[in-house]
Amino acid sequence: MQKESILIVDDNKNALSALRMFLMLDFENVVTISNPNLLPSKLKEQMFDVVLLDMNFSAGINNGTEGLFWLSEIKKISPTTEVVPITAYGDVELAVKALKLGASDFVLKPWENQKLLATIKSSCRHRQSNLKIDKLLSREDYLKHEINKNRNIIIGESPEIKAVQKLIEKVSKTDANVLITGENGTGKELVAQEIHRQSNRASELIVSVDMGAIPETLFESELFGHKKGAFTDAREDRIGKFQLADKGTLFLDEIGNLPLTLQSKLLAVLQNRVVTPVGSNKNNPINIRLISATNCNMQDMVGNMSFREDLLYRINTIQIEIPPLRERGDDIELLATHFLKIFEKKYQKRLLKLSIGAIRKLKKHSWPGNIRELQHTIEKAVILSDSDVLTDNDFLFNTTHNSASDRPESLEEMERIMIEDAMDSNRGNYSAAANQLGISRQTLYNKLKKYGL
């Protein structure tokens, strides 16, 4: 017995009784009403899968107008409920009108029991399919919203990063292909996400693919998809990244790692804007915005023939070069403070601060790993520190990466550094810091004023 709920609406009480007795053999919940005016209240108090609706209720009227009215009302109150009109005065025109208003089928009186049962069961299946589709679409919209909402932001006030932000704003509203270049850890994927967020495709997905992580043997399957049985492990159909990103943005990270043998296949897809899944003969049109990224010198790769020049032209309508962190000045302090707030919350520590000496040390580091290295450095310091103030001693770097500029260049700079360290180690206590330095409190005041501390 099926669990679906059926509502029968008919002013003929004999027909009502016969329909109810017959349908109760297959459905757990069968409700009947003889007055259609009760429909609104009945639909609001209970959800029905199918309404079996008579089309005529007033004596002498058999054109189905009343039934069409109530069909429309049912769809307004309960859009997902399937409606099956039933009438002894059926004609093609009435059936067409009913179907246009959302009826799932049409039954004539006197009905054939098995045909009626098959019609209602089919309507129940149709409703369940529509509910599943609606649920999937709602889930897809929710996931798109969450993906686009849970994004990082580009932090920085330096002229270098401001120029990048201005370029992002210019290219985002277009569909031009963008190549993002820069050292490892500079935030190339973050820039790609920001371009997508500001674009006309922001309500769709941005799909990221690490080109360096895809084995050559799986390249076509990963990017273009495959059909079941196309190769040994193809146990089911699989959609490729290009089709997954349809109407949205496709981000190909580490594009410079793509083997030369596969570059022609990528070029063909970008030129023709169609993909053919492995094992299929069907071409599937794609509508994507392409963003690529690399830390390689693409011109050098073209020069040594490890990257196709025509492919470079295709992906490089606009190039955005991300500056390394060491060239972004005070952005280091802004980013460090940003990460500090993130990790103090993550590791349940309160009101953490960076000392003056810590900030100075962070600014002097060459940051070969750029923002990613800074993020990991701050996280490590937050985890290991027992104090609410992170000092320069909380940050240890591989000295082989630091430049000669880490050393003080003058006696004044050395004096300033010693004063900063003394203030940090004594938690801002002027008397204790002056005592450590071997100078008077007034002299310390004067020195702090001189160096802007």
How do residues 179-205 score in pLDDT, each as one tens digit? 999 998 999 999 999 999 999 999 888
How do residues 203-252 score in pLDDT, each as one tens digit? 888 999 998 888 888 888 999 988 888 787 778 888 899 999 999 999 99
For 196, residues 6+ apart whose C-beta sits below 8 A from its C-beta are: 148, 172, 202, 206, 248, 249, 251, 289, 291
What is the CA angle 355-331-444, rounded to 5? 30
Q: Where are the domains of the chain?
A: 2-131, 159-323, 326-450
Q: How confident is the model at residue 401 (pLDDT cuts 50, 70, 90)?
A: very low
Q: For 30-39, 113-122, 250-259, 414-423, which range has the lowest pLDDT when averaged over its residues? A: 414-423
How do residues 107-145 score in pLDDT, each as one tens digit? 988 899 999 999 999 999 999 998 888 877 777 776 666
Judge whether residue 149 has pLDDT over 90. no
pLDDT at 406: 52
Judge whether residue 410 has pLDDT over 90. no
* Confidence (pTM): 0.63
pLDDT at 229: 83
Judge whether residue 427 has pLDDT over 80. no
From the DSSP assignment, how many helices (H) and strands (E) are in the chain? 18, 16
Residue 3: CB atoms within 10 A of its CB come to 9
pLDDT at 81: 94
pLDDT at 403: 47
How do residues 283-318 score in pLDDT, each as one tens digit? 999 999 999 999 989 999 999 999 999 999 999 999
Architecture category of domain 326-450 in CATH? Orthogonal Bundle (1.10)
Q: How confident is the model at residue 407 (pLDDT cuts 50, 70, 90)?
A: low
pLDDT at 315: 95
Architecture category of domain 159-323 in CATH? 3-Layer(aba) Sandwich (3.40)
Which of residues 363 and 58 earns the better pLDDT score?
363
pLDDT at 350: 82
Residue 373: CB atoms within 10 A of its CB come to 18
Closest listed residue to residue 140, CA positions, set 227, 287, 221, 246: 246
CATH number of 2-131: 3.40.50.2300
Q: How confident is the model at residue 431 (pLDDT cuts 50, 70, 90)?
A: confident
The answer to whether the 159-323 and 326-450 domains have the same CATH topology is: no
- On whether the CB atoms of residues 81 and 48 are closer than 8 A, the answer is yes
